[in-house]
Amino acid sequence: MTTSLVPPSAGGPSADAPPALGRASALMAPAMDAATERLDPSLHDAVRHHLAGGGKHVRAGLVLLASSAVGGTHEDSVLGAVAVELVHNYSLLHDDIIDGDRERRHRPTVWARYGVGVAIVVGDALAALAMQLLLDDPTPRRVRAAQVLADANQNMIGGQSADMAFEGRAAVGVEECLAMERGKTGALLSAACAMGGALGGGTEQQVGLLAAYGDNLGIAFQAVDDLLGIWGEPARTGKPVGADLMARKKTLPVSVAMAAGGEGAAELEAILGRELSDADVARATALIEASGARDEVAALADDHLQAALAALDEAELLAAPKEELMAVARYVTARDR
């Protein structure tokens, strides 16, 4: 077949995103296209449908920037960029089934359009393809990247599984919640940076510090996401007000507020133990704010952003890509997004 699996309308980062993400989208597109052509033809329609939804390609951008930052070229790292986006997309496909989400990026999700079975196998195919890409011609750098990606995939799955287990619990500790978010979000961001460092030929120390940058960035991103899930403007977040509370998610602000104890925590736990009315959502929001959790989580996000930037400083990176990594960090943790 000659038609592209990734149509020209495939989106990519929005206009306010750091230029590095747009460059990553453009660099990655032909390689993603060539990779997905390898899949069984019976999978092509659903893969095309899913990838046409676009995305910000933050993880691909991180691979390419991390590689550049240690003096690497795009030749090897573009494979890593495709691999990490494949793993990200497989997780979206499966998460959409698990969460029962019928829409993503204003389009029907794969399970909603093609059925649960198709969405499962398409996700499985993308995950397998990521490993195939890195192992086709297994240079030591690619093997290292494959190793990092396999571990990150497992940590991501652990985070997703913990998140699901939390739904059935009345309260979740702050440390547990952080560990879950570190897995669910931080693992793949961290892996993207470490893979870029490895594929670009960085030292083990540089790879470790780039991984630390990605890990901290993941926590900061998730903390901001949790704040926006409660206090974000629906017009910007694309979710109704208080969507996370309505779904009784044990996010960081909730776990911090509950850890504060006292009457407020008890009332919050009671509210989150039942189906929430709009009044319940408003009351829970007020309780969390009154506990100081909103400020505390914002401070936690800032601390992790600073830790991410400090890891970059320590890694002795090339100046220009380092600046771009800093810009990406500020972009994905911006509270007005």
- Contact residues: its own copies, CB under 8 A: 38-40, 42-43, 94, 97-98, 116-118, 120-125, 127-129, 131-132, 135-136, 138, 143-144, 146-147, 150-151, 153-154, 157-162, 164-165, 183
Maximal C-alpha separation, the chain: 64
Q: Which two three-digit tokens encode residue 102?
A: 């019928």
Euclidean distance between CA atoms 129 and 87, whole angstroms? 9
CB of 94 to its own copies, least distance (A): 5
Q: How far is the CB of 166 from its own copies (least distance, A)?
A: 9
Q: Which is nearer to its own copies, 39 or 260 (CB)?
A: 39
- Shortest Cβ distance from residue 54 to its own copies (Å)? 24
Alpha helices in 136-186 (DSSP H): 140-167, 174-181
Query: What angle (nearest 5°) sits at the alpha carbon of residue 103, between those of residues 54 and 192?
Result: 40
Type of residue at 33: D
Nearest approach in angstroms of CB 125 to its own copies is 5
> CA 131, CA 134: separation in Å to the nearest integer?
5
Nearer to its own copies, 93 or 311 (CB): 93
Smaller CB distance to its own copies: residue 133 or 329?
133
Closer by beta carbon to its own copies, 122 or else 300: 122
Q: Least distance to its own copies from the beta carbon of 305, Å?
A: 27
Beta strands in the chain (DSSP E): 103-104, 107-108
- Identity of the residue numbered 255: S
Choose between 28 and 134: whose C-beta lies nearer to its own copies: 134
Residue with tokens 């206090």: 231
